[in-house]
Amino acid sequence: MQIIQNLKVKEEIYKQKLDNGLNIIIIPKKDASKKYVIWGTKFGSIDNHFLIEQDKEEIKIPDGVAHFLEHKLFEQENGTNSLDALSSLGVEANAYTTYNHTAYLFEATNNFYEALDEFMNYVQNPYFTDENVEKEKGIISQEINMYEDDPEWQVYMNAMRIMYDKTPTNIDIAGSIESISKINKEILYKSYNNFYDLSNMLLVVCGDFEPKSILEEIKKRITKTSNQKQVQRIYEKEQEEIVKSDKTVTMEVNMPVFVIGFKDKIQSDIDIVKKHIAIEIILYMLLGKSSEAYQELYKSGDIISGPSFEYEFTKQYAHVLITGKSKNPQKIAEMLKTQITNYKKEGLDSNHFERIKKKVYGDYVTQYDDVGNIARMFLSDYFKEINSFDYIDKINELDIEYTNKILNEVFDLNKMVISIVKGK
């Protein structure tokens, strides 16, 4: 096993690639009361067009297949549901689908190995029939309708739709009622067999484990073999420009919710971790609780709590998001524009920069306090081809000159969008 240490957070990870292609990361957390396992595959909602290179077969699947698969894997041939079986063992189990991966997980204090049996069995043994696929369409249709009535989801999706023209981030992860109506068991098996290949997956365990012992326990429970087929994903080329700058809809909300976004340019030749850290620092300087803009908005009652910040990125898309609630979202957007313009002209304040840099570093360190946070972080970063430890190491390389450069490149007011959901 390869061992990677980080002395700053006093953590180490053990990495092993098995002969069948499965990658495993083990993160020992001595004396942790909980054990956490997450098993993911690099198959998300944007992966709806691909080529099986050995077969020379180009395949298009309906929107929502990755999410549909996530739902269906829990149902077993003997009529049981693995989510119920795991709950009966007293463990917390779940699954989720993102744009670029799908993951299954559980957290346990007791009955860990019994739960691991169930967990690794259902992920490796799909069971789809015409009947259970049709039944699931009704369940997912209800979920889609529920999200259509969710203001926070709609304000996010509208931001994606006005930001992206071709990239499938502008399509709901669950698909639409129309798209899921086209899903059948053959599509599910084809997608599973190609994307749930062991060579396309990562299993992460975090807790009070002896690495070699837990590795053997995992290997004993692997029943799948790998076909090692090469799947080439096909994506349409996205324009650099946004679709339009704003969209406002009305729904039942007490206070308007907003998403302000900046569409970023995809660059393959950059240090994405260093860039991510710089963006995070800039966002806190612009609209974090210690910023002048936030203090002014808070005093005037235009904002009641700090907005959330995110930089979402893969090799297919990248964007900055600022999400929050305000009685006057447009005022926040205008103040943000003014602040960005001033920072570009005058440069970032060095004292403020150093304070925020220390705050961000502290946030990174506290991520290692929780086994679930650690495991999810390493899985998500792995599918972006990142080692999570890099965030701890590279923040010290960051200086104000580099951060000013990222400010000028990423926070382009011509690529700024605002999505608002306001009350009726």
Digit-coded pLDDT (tens) for 411-423: 999 999 999 999 9
325 occurs within a structural domain = yes
3-state secondary structure of 379: helix
Q: Is the dihedral of CA 286, 288, 289, 294 positive or negative?
A: positive
Residues 59 and 186 in one domain: yes
Residues 250 and 219 in one domain: no
How many structural domains comprise the chain?
2
Range of the domain at 414: 246-423
Tokens 């709806």 correspond to 48
239 occurs within a structural domain = no
**Nearest residue to 282 (alpha-carbon basis) of 163, 156, 398:** 398
Q: Which of 169, 204, 233 is the last residue of a domain?
A: 233
Residues 178 and 279 in one domain: no
Q: What are phi and psi of 98, to 5 degrees?
A: -115, -175
CATH number for the domain including 282? 3.30.830.10
Residue 113 confidence (pLDDT): 97
241 occurs within a structural domain = no
Distances (CA, A) of 382 to 59, 104, 357, 389: 26, 15, 24, 11
Question: How far is residue 48's CA from residue 50's CA, in Å, rounded to a whole number?
Answer: 7
Question: How far is residue 95's CA from residue 82's CA, in Å, rounded to a whole number?
Answer: 12
Angle between helix axes 65-72 and 130-148 (nearest 10 degrees) is: 120
Reply yes or no on whether the pLDDT at 12 is more than 90: yes
Question: How far is residue 275's CA from residue 90's CA, in Å, rounded to a whole number?
Answer: 41
Question: How far is residue 285's CA from residue 272's CA, in Å, rounded to a whole number?
Answer: 20
Q: Which of 185, 200, 233 is the last residue of a domain?
A: 233
DSSP letters for 194-226: HHS-GGGEEEEEEES--HHHHHHHHHHT-----
> Per the residue annotation, which of 70, 118, 238, 280 is the catalytic one?
70
Query: Which tokens belong to 392?
Result: 């701890």
Q: What is the pLDDT of residues 54-103, one digit of tens each?
A: 777 889 999 999 999 999 999 999 888 999 999 999 999 999 999 999 99
Residue 225 confidence (pLDDT): 82
Q: Which of 233, 258, 280 is the last residue of a domain?
A: 233
Residues 195 and 254 in one domain: no
Residue 42 confidence (pLDDT): 97
First-to-final CA distance of the chain: 59
Task: Determine whether 70 is an active site residue.
Answer: yes
286 occurs within a structural domain = yes
Residues 358 and 419 in one domain: yes
Residue type, 140: I
